[in-house]
Structure 1
Amino acid sequence: MTTAAPPSARRTRTLRLLSQSGVLVALLLLVLFGALRYDGFLGAYNLSTFLRYNAMFGLIAVGMCFVIITGGIDLSVGSVVAMSSVVAALLSPHGVGIAVLGGVLAGAAVGLLNGLIITRLNIQPFITTLATLLAARGLALLLARNQGGVGLDPNNTALAWVGQGDLWRLPVPGVILAVVVVAAAVTLRLTPFGRHALATGGGEDASSLMGLPVDRIKLGVYGLSGALAGLSGVILAAQLGAGQPTEGLGWELSAIASVVVGGTLLTGGMGSIWATLAGTLLLGLIFNLLNFENGRGVISLSPYWQSVIRGGFLLLVVVLQSRAGGSGEP
C-alpha cells in the first residue's frame, strides 16, 4: 500500500509545477505580444542582440541554480563577472585560449574560496559571499589600476569573436549558453553530483547521515557558480572590447530572480535548469519590451529602473512562494 504524500509536500510539488509552467506561459504570451505590437521584434537583429546580451545572465543563473538547490546563496557573482572581465583583458595579449581560461579560473577560484569558507569555517553563505563580493570588486579595481576599463589586445580578434561573433548564424554567447544549459540539465538529473546536490538541499543533516559527501557537493556548486560567472565576465570583456571593473552591479539579483521565477525554492531541495533558463529569458524579455516602448515614446524609463523592476519581481515571487507554502520543507 502506497503512503500518501503529506500536504506540505504536495503543496510544494504543486507550487513547483505551477511556477515552471507559469513562467513558460508568460514567456510565450510576451513573445506573442511583442510580435504583434512591434515591427522588427522577431527580426534577426533584435533576436541576436537579445541572446548576445542575456546569455551572460543565463550563465550566472545556471550556476546560481545549483547553489540555491543546495540551500545556499552566492552574492559574489556580479563582482566575479567584473573581476574576470579584467583578468581576461589583461591576458588577451597571450591569446584567446589563455584569456578565456584565465577568466574562468579566476571566477572558479573565488567560488572555491566561498565553498571552503562555508564548509571549513562553517560561515553562513550570505555572509561569506557578501565578503567575497566586496573583495572581488576591490580586486577588479586594483587589477584595472582604478581605470574605467582595460582594453583588449587589438590583435586578439578571436577573443572579440567570443562576444561579438556568430556561429551557424547564431550569436556565439547564445551558443555557449545553450551548451552550458544542456550540460547542466544532464548533470542535475542524471549524475550522482546532481542528485546529491538535490538531496543536500532537501536535508543536509539527513544527507550526511546517509554518507553523502555534503561538503564536497557544496564546494562543487560554489566552484561551478564562480566558473560560470567567470565565463560571463570573459564574454562581457569580449562584447565591450574591454574588461569592466565597475560592471556587474546587481547581476546577482538578476540571477537569483531568474532561478526563483523558474520555480526553484530558496530553501533548496528542488530546481530546474530549463525553468531557470525560461526565467532568465522572461526577465530579459520584459526589459526588451520596455526598450521598444521607450522607442515608441509611450514611456520613458531610465536603465536604473531595471534594478527596481528586478527587485520588485523577485519580492513578488518570493511572497507568492511563501503564501503557497513553498517555504516549508519539501
Structure 2
Amino acid sequence: MTTIHGTSKGAPPPAPEELLGDAPGGAAAEARAPGTGRGERLSALAQQHGALAVLVVLTAAASLGFDSFATGDNFSNMAVSSAFLAIVALGMTFVIITGGIDLSVGSLFALGGVLAAWGSRYGTVVALLLPLAVCGTIGLVNGLLIARARLAPFIVTLAAMLAARGLLLTLTDEGAETYLVAEGSFLAELGQGSTLGVAHPVWITVALFAAGAVVLRRTRFGQRVYAIGGNEDAAALMGAPVARTKITVYAVSGLLAGLAGALNAAWLASGVTILGAGMELEAIAAVVIGGTLLTGGLGFVSGSLVGVLLLKVIQNVINQIGSLDSAYQQVVSGAFLAVVVVAQTWLGRRRRVL
C-alpha cells in the first residue's frame, strides 16, 4: 500500500492528540490544562502593564510622603521635562521592536536644539525644518547602512552619535558659542506657552504618541515592524519589505530626536550644547521598562510613555528626599532596569511554557 509521509493512503486522518504530540504530561496536555490560559493572560498583563502598576503605587506613596510632590507646579514640571525624553523614546520604541538599537538619539537631540536656535534668526519655519531635515537625514543614513549594507546597528548608530556630536561642536565653536531663541517669537511660544493650562510640548507629545499607537497597532507598517522583530527571515519570506521598513524606522527615530531637541531649545530659549549626553540610555531604559523586549517582536507605545514617567517620578522622589546625591538617580534607575529585564525574561519564558 502506498504511503504518503508515513501515513497509509486511505487511512483515517490522525487524531488531534497525535498532531499535537499529546501524551500524559506532554506539552499539548499542558496547553489544555485548566488555568494555563489564565496564567498566560496574567503573564502578558504583567509584562505589558507592570510598569503602570509600579508608577501608580510609587506616585501614591510619594504623594503621601512629600507635601511638595502632589502639587500642580511639580506635576507640570515633570510633564514638561518628560515630554522631550518621551518623544525620543517613541522613535526608540519602533527601533527596538524591529530588534535594532539607536545610540545616536542623544547627540541628535542636542544637535536638533542647536540647529533650531541657530535657525530661529531666520524665522520659525527654518528653526523647525532645519533640525528635522538634518537629524532625519542622519537617521536615514543609519537605516540605509543597517538595512542595505547589513552593518550592525550598534556600530552604525555609535558612529552617528560621534559624528552628530562633532557637527554640534563645530557649529558652536567647541561649545563656546550659544545661540538664543528670540523672546516672544513663535518658536519660544511653542516651547514655553500653554493651552488649557497644559504646556505645548506636552500636547505635542500626547499627539505624537496617539499617532504612534495607531501606526504601530492598526497599520500594515506596524505589523511589518512586529514581524521583522519577531523573525526577520520569516518576514522576508512572507513578502514584507524588510529593508524599507528598517530604513523608515531609523529615519523616524532621527526625525523625532531632532524634533525633541528643537522643542527643548524653544523651552530653554537657547541651544545648549551639553544636553543629550546619556539620553540614548535613558530612552532605551524607558522603552524596556515599558514592556518592549530588547530582542524585538514585542512592544507597546503606551508602555514607553509609562516608562518615561516612571523614570521621571523616581528622579523627582530622590530630589524630594534632598539628602541623596543626584547620582543616586542613575543608581536607582539602573537597578530598576535590571529588575525589569529579569522580570521580562521570566515572564517571556513562562508564557512560552504555558
TM over 0.5: yes
8 Å CA contact 1:92, 1:156 repeated in 2: no
Query: How far apart are residue 13 of structure 1 and its match?
Result: 7.2
Q: Secondary structure at the match of 2:70?
A: coil
Match status 1:300 vs 2:332? no
Match status 1:214 vs 2:237? no
C-alpha change, 1:139 and 1:262, in structure 2 (3 Å) is same
Pick the aligned partner of 1:312 from 314, 332, 335.
Answer: 335
8 Å CA contact 2:318, 2:328 repeated in 1: no
Q: Which amino acid aligns with 1:233?
A: G
CA distance in 2, matches of 1:210, 1:14: 31
Q: Which amino acid aligns with 1:320?
A: A
Q: Secondary structure at the match of 1:266?
A: coil
Query: How far apart are residue 110 of structure 1 and its match?
Result: 1.3
5+ residue gaps, structure 1: none
Deviations 1:241-277 (A, max 9, x none): 2112221011111111111111111111111101111
Q: Which amino acid aligns with 1:321?
A: Q
CA distance in 2, matches of 1:13, 1:99: 47
Q: Which residue of 2 aligns with 1:72?
A: 100
Q: Which residue of 1 aligns with 2:304?
A: 276
8 Å CA contact 2:116, 2:130 repeated in 1: yes
Query: How far apart are residue 156 of structure 1 and its match?
Result: 5.6
Q: Which amino acid aligns with 2:324?
A: S
CA distance in 2, matches of 1:219, 1:174: 28
8 Å CA contact 2:86, 2:308 repeated in 1: yes
Cα RMSD over matched residues?
A: 2.5
TM-score, scaled relative to structure 1: 0.91
CA distance in 1, matches of 2:351, 2:210: 30
CA distance in 1, matches of 2:225, 2:245: 6
CA distance in 2, matches of 1:207, 1:112: 21
5+ residue gaps, structure 2: 1-15, 21-27, 32-36
Q: Which residue of 1 aligns with 2:269?
A: 241
CA distance in 1, matches of 2:263, 2:312: 17
Query: How far apart are residue 157 of structure 1 and its match?
Result: 2.2
C-alpha change, 1:246 and 1:12, in structure 2 (3 Å) is farther
Larger Rg: 2
Query: What fraction of aligned residue pairs are identical, expressed as a percent?
Result: 43
TM-score, scaled relative to structure 2: 0.85
Query: How far apart are residue 163 of structure 1 and its match?
Result: 2.0
Query: How far apart are residue 216 of structure 1 and its match?
Result: 0.6
Q: Which residue of 2 aligns with 1:106?
A: 134
CA distance in 1, matches of 2:213, 2:175: 39
Match status 1:95 vs 2:123? yes
C-alpha change, 1:92 and 1:287, in structure 2 (3 Å) is same
Q: Secondary structure at the match of 1:108?
A: helix
Q: Which amino acid aligns with 2:320?
A: F
C-alpha change, 1:326 and 1:99, in structure 2 (3 Å) is farther
Deviations 1:64-92 (A, max 9, x none): 00000000000110000011111111100
CA distance in 1, matches of 2:210, 2:281: 23
8 Å CA contact 2:44, 2:351 repeated in 1: no
CA distance in 1, matches of 2:162, 2:338: 24
